Every structure is written in structure tokens, then in C-alpha cells.
Amino acid sequence: MSLGLGIALGALLWFIVRCVLTGFYTVEQNQRAVITTFGRVQQLKGKSTLDLPMAEHLSDEHKPRYHYPQVKVKGPGGPYVKMPWQKVHKVSVAIETASIAYDPEDPHMNQNGTILEAVTKDQLNIGVTGQLRYKVSEKNLYGYLFGVKNPEAHIMGYFVSILRERIANFAAPRESTLPLGDLDGALIEGEGAQLEGISINDLRKNLNELNNQTDAECLSSTARYGIELDASLITGIDPPEEIESALAAINTAHNEVSADISLAQAEADQKIEQSKRAVEIQTMRVQAEVEPLERVAGELVELKKNGGSKSLGSYLRNVRLQLYRRAKRVLATQQGAKSSTGGAS
């Protein structure tokens, strides 16, 4: 075999391996693919991520920093053909779930990725547990593949920093603004009252509010790192063991005071309703007594109009006779009668 023939056979074998055996690829249902030619990604001319709704969550200062081009994406299907000088980058777009304490760069951090430490606004070290759901954004694959070196580590660090900042500055919403009393520096309010100054109580009672605030501030992660945070779910917030018993005692005392206040409010509301009802009853009684008088006055006016003074005199005589019947004793003056008589009616 000559040297030239060997070179030709080698080139043919290389062509078969690179172009025939590895020149075809498929994309699974939960995958998306991006092709690079000599390391350069296939871009959509004149389009960038700043043209998409995800850019609305970036500040004007960060928009130039995260100005990524839009790329051509291969959807599920195949087989597709690629040239030897091209490379296929496949990405799973399925929703992933991870603990909020998970560190992609060091899985042994945060007690093996189980509990995340944070500090409250009253300088209390707490342990936070929960889950984070996320997925790769199909509309920003450039940011995920080429924008950052380790996007999972970036997104976890970004989320943890926002969560810790929220916990350190969290203030529970107050539904009632009218204080009913003070107890050792605590502000006791109406329904849903909480102890002011003990932020762990606010956090525990408002986990949903904390989750919503964190999710709202993480909306820019899609434009930053190409990862969309689907939802965060904080399931537990625990204080240090050395103060847990003291905190439990404080909460118990506060609950007892809140129960007494609620009972007093209920009794006060009941008395107020009873007073309102009593006023209504008395008002109806007065109206019932006034109505006949008004009717009599109206009849007298009509008698005077129709019959003159004689009819009015007859009416007064009839009324006087009715009064005489009810009276047990009648006293007459010398002008009105010569003698006085008495007897049972």
C-alpha cells in the first residue's frame, strides 16, 4: 500500500467518523440546542434580550451590562445535521428543584445544603429551610451558555443575597393602626397582633409575604443569567436553640394577652350592640306615643275648619266626659259648679 493511498483511506475514515457517525444529532422534548461554528454562536441579526419583556426588570444601569444577543435555537426533533467544525450545545429546559441552602460550588456548605443561615433586623441568627424551583430560559440561552461561567452558582448566590437582605429588613404588614395597649415594649394591636421587636414572629407569620417579595426582586434573573426563577418556597424559620425556650415563653404570654384582649373586645362589641338596640326600642316607643297626639291635633284642626267653635266645644265636652269616667274623684271650682261630688267611676 502506497503512502498516498493510506492518506486517502485515513481521510475517508475520518470523514466517515466525523460527518457520518457524529454528524447527526437529536434534541429531546425537554431540551433546546444552540449551534456554534468555529466557536461563534448563530445569532439573530439586530435582536437582543433588551428587546424582550424580561429587560423591563433590569435597571438602566444594568441594561448595558446584560445586553445579550438572541440566538438561533433548535427545538425538539431530529435528526439534525452538523458540520465537523460545528458544536452542539444542548440545554435542559425542565424545571429543577433545589434546596435554598444548596451551594453548587461546595455541596458541603450550609450543613450539607440543608439549612441556610441568616440574620434578622434584631440581630438574631436564624436557620431557614425551603426549596427553590427554576428553569433555563429558552429566550436567553446566550446568557446561560456564554454569559457567565457557572450560571447555577450565580443564580443561587443571587437568590440567597436577596433572601438575606429581605430577612434583615423585613417588616410585617400591620392591618390595624389603633394601639390598644403596651406590654413591656410590645405593641398590641387588633386582630393579627404581633410582638414588635421580635422579627422572627413576623417572619413566621408572614412566610407567604416574604416569598412574594423575594420572587418579585428575582424577576431580573432571566435577563441576567438566563435562568428563570419559577417559585421560592420557604418552609421553616428556626431560632437558635439557646433562645428557643425563652421565645416560646414570650409567645405564650403574648397569646394569652391577645386572647384576653379579644375577649374584652367581643364583650365591648356585644354591649355596644345591646345599647344600640335599647336606643332603637326607646325611639320606637316615643314615636308610638307621639303619633296619637299628632293625629288628635290634626283632627282638632279639621273640626275647627269644618264645624267652627261649636263642634270644637262638643269634642272637648266628649273628651271631658271620658276623663270623668276614668277619674275616681272630681273636684269642681266655685266658678264651674256649686258643689263638689266624689265617687267611684
Across the range 267-278, mean pLDDT stands at 89
**Phi, psi of 119, deg, nearest 5:** -120, 130
CA terminus-to-terminus distance, the chain: 156
Question: Domain for residue 338, yes or no?
Answer: no
Grid coordinates representing 59 are 435597571
- Residue 51's CB is within 10 A of a number of other CB atoms, namely 11
pLDDT interval class at 191 (50, 70, 90): very low
Q: What is the pLDDT of residue 33?
A: 92
**Closest alpha carbon to 70 in 146, 140, 149, 135:** 140
Alpha helices of 130-240 — where are they, by DSSP H?
141-142, 151-168, 199-205, 207-217, 221-225
Q: What is the pLDDT of residue 113?
A: 85
Q: Which residues pair with 188 in a beta bridge?
A: 181
Give the C-alpha separation, 276 to 22, whole Å. 88
State pTM to two decimals: 0.61
CA distance to 230, 311, 322, 325, per residue, from 317 (Å): 94, 10, 9, 12
Question: Domain for residue 18, yes or no?
Answer: yes
Q: What is the pLDDT of residue 193?
A: 42
Q: What is the pLDDT of residue 242?
A: 65
Question: Domain for residue 117, yes or no?
Answer: yes
Question: Domain for residue 52, yes or no?
Answer: yes
Higher-scoring residue by pLDDT: 344, 133: 133
Grid coordinates representing 258 are 391577645
Question: Domain for residue 331, yes or no?
Answer: no
| Burial category of 11 from C-beta neighbours within 10 Å (exposed 0-12, middle 13-18, buried 19 and up) | exposed
Q: What is the pLDDT of residue 324?
A: 77
> Nearest 10 degrees: CA dihedral of 280, 283, 287, 290?
170
Unique residue bearing C-alpha cell 277619674: 327
Across the range 232-240, mean pLDDT stands at 82
**Closest alpha carbon to 101 in 93, 111, 90:** 111
Give me the DSSP letters along 89-135.
EEEE-S-EEEETT--TT-TTHHHHHT-EEEE-TTS-EEEEEEEEEEE
Question: Domain for residue 218, yes or no?
Answer: yes
* Tens-place pLDDT, residues 290-341: 887 787 777 777 767 766 556 666 667 777 777 777 777 777 665 544 444 4
Across the range 204-213, mean pLDDT stands at 84
pLDDT interval class at 84 (50, 70, 90): confident
Q: What is the pLDDT of residue 213?
A: 85
Question: Domain for residue 21, yes or no?
Answer: yes
Grid coordinates representing 179 are 394601639
Contact indicator for 11, 64 with CB cutoff of 8 Å: no
Q: Supply the angle between the helices 207-217 and 151-168 in degrees, to the nearest 10.
A: 130
Across the range 38-54, mean pLDDT stands at 89
Q: What is the pLDDT of residue 218?
A: 87
Pairing of strands 181-183, 96-99: unpaired
Question: Domain for residue 343, yes or no?
Answer: no
Query: What CATH number did the domain enclosing 152 receive?
Result: 3.30.479.30
Tally of domains within the chain: 1
Range of the domain at 104: 8-170+206-239
- Residue 133's CB is within 10 A of a number of other CB atoms, namely 14
Average pLDDT of the chain is 78
pLDDT exceeds 80 at position 77: yes
**Closest alpha carbon to 93 in 133, 136, 134:** 136
pLDDT exceeds 70 at position 180: no
Contact indicator for 227, 136 with CB cutoff of 8 Å: yes
